[in-house]
């Protein structure tokens, strides 16, 4: 379905982003992966995508806190593959603390990585999409783009912000064959979720097991974590022709969380 297309997926060395990169590669897209981590492991993931799906895959080490590096990532994709047809703004981090104790550097990093990086990457990719008259921008937001939870002020702010950015960008390019949407997962079992369990336990004065059952899955009516492959499947659908009329949408995939 996506052969002759190129996809850039930010934050794709792990978790949801990696599953999205692999899901798009399975449909035939060439891929630019991006993210932090061990060089050997990243190279193994990159080579694995090429081997498993017969596409080309390059790695961009761009730091999503740095606008010039983000523009460089889009340049790299255009130089290697001639275009960026699909942009998935997925990189994200979390920090859990009460507002009055929230570290300033964490606030700035979360706003930069989880929100502003999507602006910088989309800004750089849209001219090429406009030229081709086709494009897909998909932002990994969160159920926290629609509702809040305590102790996640920077994250909830950034995710609500990305919902606003999604709607605005979608309106600007609605007549140019380009859709812009946000997918909003509930709790997905990934390293990002696993890492916040100790701090959440501390902030709430409960055990780590209680964080899983009483905090994370308490609000998720299915009582199941969403899987990375389910999110990837949703993103692949949004890249299809069947999804051409879905734009400016803030789309939950959250086991019923935001239905309540």
Give catalytic residue positions. Answer: 155
Closest CB to ligand NAD among 23 and 185? 185
HSE (CB half, 13 Å, CA atoms) of 141?
32
* Chain residues 178-217 in contact with ligand NAD, contact rule CB under 6 A: 185, 187-188, 190-193
Q: Does residue number 14 form part of the binding site for ligand NAD (CB under 6 A)?
A: yes
Closest CB to ligand NAD among 63 and 176? 63
Tell me which of 25, 113, 201, 243 binds ligand NAD, using CB under 6 A. 113
Window 62-101: contact mask with ligand NAD (x via CB under 6 A): -xxx------------------------xxxx--------
Residues 6+ apart with CB under 8 A from 259: 221
The answer to whether the beta carbons of residues 232 and 23 sit under 8 Å apart is yes
Closest CB to ligand NAD among 6 and 142? 142
Closest CB to ligand NAD among 193 and 246? 193
Least distance to ligand NAD, CB of residue 23, Å: 13
Judged by the rule CB under 6 A, the positions of this chain that interact with ligand NAD are: 11-17, 34-37, 63-65, 90-93, 113-114, 140, 142, 185, 187-188, 190-193
């Amino acid at each position: 379905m996506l052969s002759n297309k190129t996809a850039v997926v930010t934050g794709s060395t792990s978790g949801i982003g990696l599953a999205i990169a692999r899901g798009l590669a399975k449909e035939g897209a060439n891929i630019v992966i991006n993210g932090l981590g061990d060089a050997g492991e990243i190279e193994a993931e990159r080579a694995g995508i090429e081997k498993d799906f017969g596409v080309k895959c390059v790695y961009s080490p761009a730091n999503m806190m740095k606008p010039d590096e983000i523009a460089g990532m889009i340049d790299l994709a255009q130089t290697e593959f001639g275009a960026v047809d699909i942009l998935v703004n997925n990189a994200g981090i979390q920090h859990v603390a009460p507002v009055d104790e929230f570290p300033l550097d964490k606030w700035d990093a979360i706003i930069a990585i989880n929100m502003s990086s999507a602006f910088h990457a989309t800004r750089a990719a849209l001219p090429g999409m406009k030229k081709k008259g086709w494009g897909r921008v998909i932002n990994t937001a969160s159920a926290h783009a629609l509702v809040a939870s305590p102790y996640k002020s920077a994250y909830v702010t950034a995710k609500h912000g990305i919902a606003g950015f999604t709607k605005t960008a979608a309106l600007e390019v609605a007549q140019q064959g380009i859709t812009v949407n946000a997918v909003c997962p509930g709790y997905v079992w990934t390293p990002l979720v696993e890492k916040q369990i100790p701090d959440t336990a501390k902030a709430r004065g409960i055990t780590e097991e209680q964080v899983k059952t009483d905090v994370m899955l308490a609000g998720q009516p299915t009582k199941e974590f969403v899987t990375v492959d389910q999110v990837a499947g949703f993103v692949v659908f949004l890249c299809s022709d069947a999804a051409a009329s879905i734009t400016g949408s803030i789309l939950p995939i959250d086991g019923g969380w935001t239905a309540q």
